[in-house]
Amino acid sequence: MSKTIIISNRLPLQLKIENHKIEATPSVGGLATGMKSVHRDGNGVWIGWTGLTEEEIPADLVDDVVEATIQEQCVPVSLNQDDIDGFYYGFSNRTIWPLFHYFIEYAEFEKESWQSYKRVNEKYAEVVLDNIEEGDTVWVHDYQLMLLPALIKKERPDVQIGFFLHIPFPSYEVFRILPWREEILKGLLGSDLIGFHTYDYQRHFLSSVSRILRHEVSFNEITLKDRMITVNSFPMGIDYKKFADAAEKHDTAKNQSELQRRLDLHIDSTPDAKMILSIDRLDYSKGIANRIRAYEYFLEKYPQFKEKVRLVMLAVPSRSNVPQYQLLKKEVDELVGRINGKFASVSWTPIWYFYRSMPFENLIDLYTTCEVALLTPIRDGMNLVAKEYIATRTNKTGVLILSEMAGAAQEMSEAVIINPNNFEEIADALKLAIEMPEDEQIKRNKFLQKRLKRYNVEKWAEDFMNALYETTHKSDIVEAV
């Protein structure tokens, strides 16, 4: 039976060694959480990295690593510490991530890390080629593996290859800064279908292809000598049912978590208080420092809300070997400390800050309890947290404040949309959200929920796979002509 091979840098499970035993935890991030629901229901395999380097795995645990991944229909790609330093912390997260999120001054252009990126993409290609069987379809994900489509196509021109980018594709003027821009584009053009979250990212990509590689681009097709490539936008959805069901269950659950008990205690002690939630990986693209400063400005501009609001901020540790992430951690720690010191009273702390990963149940505690969600990325390919928040509001109350720089804002116009650099606007949006009448909240959320329910992650994957299937027919037609 033919299968779909999913490939991403990280597998949906991350392995750790505890007391000389392999332990698995779910990966954090939009790609893993979204694709997991697609993978769960299919008969495919998922190829990627386990989170452990070759050096970290003792010889007697190598089989256990393979065993733990096979159980989840996954195949591990073996990476060593040099690969992680050059490919992951280097080119992927010090070059591509900042450049594609318009943090140009953070982008480093090191030849060694580029070489490592090429080498690791080749390692992935080897594992993929070992696992491809006749009739299989390949779906490559994200910015860490942009050379992979061409590496596979070269060896297996018969295989249909899809590529989806989970982060923004920057405008041509930014992309052209990259010294290896041609190689990256050529790598991507090994695909038959290339997908982006929004039409703008698609447009930027097509413009780069036509200006840098001079290929013929018409509407959403690129014509090469021997084949055509389709480019389209597929805004990624969430596993709506999973979040809505968990929220329903949460409301009737008898056994509360410790976190929920603490949240309830706070509500009981200040019945008219409102909780404002933010959840992100600790990443400079998420606008976390901006958000805290804007919250400070809000408390100054509208002092009537002191003692009445609380910002509950969950930041998940991420890429902590990259200097910019270390600096951000320091900045956020200082900001939270300063603002809590400045405004706190004996009975009130303005910010509750959690720097850790949390189990799914606790995410649901936070989503369902906080009346406002404040998501202020400076740039974000999509932002699934925004969608998850809305899906858990089963009684349809709650207000989402969302940055216009997140891909999700394009589908969520009923949210309160803000510019993350405009503190005045954020402060006013917070006031508006806190005071918004319930019927207005319900009206907005009804529209949002309807859309998210319909265009869920399954539909997204189905649309992508159907479009990929269509490309086969287009290629057949080109050949016949």
Distances (CA, A) of 406 to 267, 381, 453: 31, 6, 19
* CB-facing half-sphere around the CA of 226: CA atoms within 13 A: 7
Candidate ranges 22-30, 101-109, 263-271, 457-465; the one touching ligand ADP (CB under 6 A): 22-30
Nearest to 333 by CA among 345, 321, 344, 341: 341
Per DSSP bridges, beta strands 221-223 and 216-218 are antiparallel
For 62-92, give the DSSP string: HHHHHHHHHTTTEEEPP--HHHIIIIIIIII
170 binds ligand G6P (CB under 6 A): no
Which of 14, 160, 383, 471 lies at the binding interface for ligand ADP (CB under 6 A)? Answer: 383
Binding mask 27-56 for ligand ADP (x = CB under 6 A): -xxx--x-----------------------
Q: How far is the CB of 78 from ligand G6P (least distance, A)?
A: 17
Report the DSSP beta bridge partners of residue 230.
193, 221
Nearest to 139 by CA among 71, 232, 239, 46: 46
Nearest to 22 by CA among 97, 82, 72: 72
31 binds ligand G6P (CB under 6 A): yes
Is 161 within 8 Å of 149 (Cβ atoms)?
Answer: yes
Q: How far is the CB of 219 from ligand G6P (least distance, A)?
A: 27
Binding mask 358-387 for ligand G6P (x = CB under 6 A): ------------------------------
Candidate ranges 73-81, 131-139, 380-388, 447-455; the one touching ligand ADP (CB under 6 A): 380-388
34 binds ligand G6P (CB under 6 A): no
162 binds ligand G6P (CB under 6 A): no
Is 38 within 8 Å of 457 (Cβ atoms)?
Answer: yes
Q: Which does 142 bind (CB under 5 to 8 A by kind): ligand ADP, ligand G6P, none?
A: ligand G6P
Q: Which does 10 bind (CB under 5 to 8 A by kind): ligand G6P, ligand ADP, none?
A: ligand G6P
Measured distance CA(78)–CA(15) in Å, rounded: 13
Structure tokens at 377: 């990325």
Show contacts with ligand ADP in window 259-298 (CB under 6 A).
279, 281
Distances (CA, A) of 216 to 183, 204, 211, 225, 229: 18, 15, 10, 10, 11
CB-count exposure of residue 271 (10 Å: 0-12, 13-18, 19+): exposed
Indicate if the alpha-carbon torsion angle 334, 335, 340, 341 is positive or negative: positive
Candidate ranges 26-34, 60-68, 372-380, 449-457; the one touching ligand G6P (CB under 6 A): 26-34
Q: How far is the CB of 33 from ligand G6P (least distance, A)?
A: 9
Residue closer to ligand ADP, measured from CB, 152 or 328: 328
Measured distance CA(201)–CA(158) in Å, rounded: 28
Q: How far is the CB of 376 from ligand ADP (least distance, A)?
A: 12
Candidate ranges 28-36, 245-253, 300-308, 347-355; the one touching ligand G6P (CB under 6 A): 28-36
Which H or E run includes 179?
none
Show contacts with ligand G6P in window 392-451 (CB under 6 A).
none
358 binds ligand ADP (CB under 6 A): yes
318 binds ligand G6P (CB under 6 A): yes
Residue nearest to ligand G6P (CB): 29
144 binds ligand ADP (CB under 6 A): no
Candidate ranges 26-34, 63-71, 188-196, 263-271; the one touching ligand ADP (CB under 6 A): 26-34
Show contacts with ligand ADP in window 294-323 (CB under 6 A).
314, 316
Q: Which does 363 bind (CB under 5 to 8 A by kind): ligand ADP, ligand G6P, none?
A: ligand ADP
Measured distance CA(73)–CA(239) in Å, rounded: 20
Residues that bind ligand ADP (CB under 6 A): 28-30, 33, 279, 281, 314, 316, 357-358, 363, 382-385, 388
Residues that bind ligand G6P (CB under 6 A): 10, 29-31, 142, 166-167, 318-319
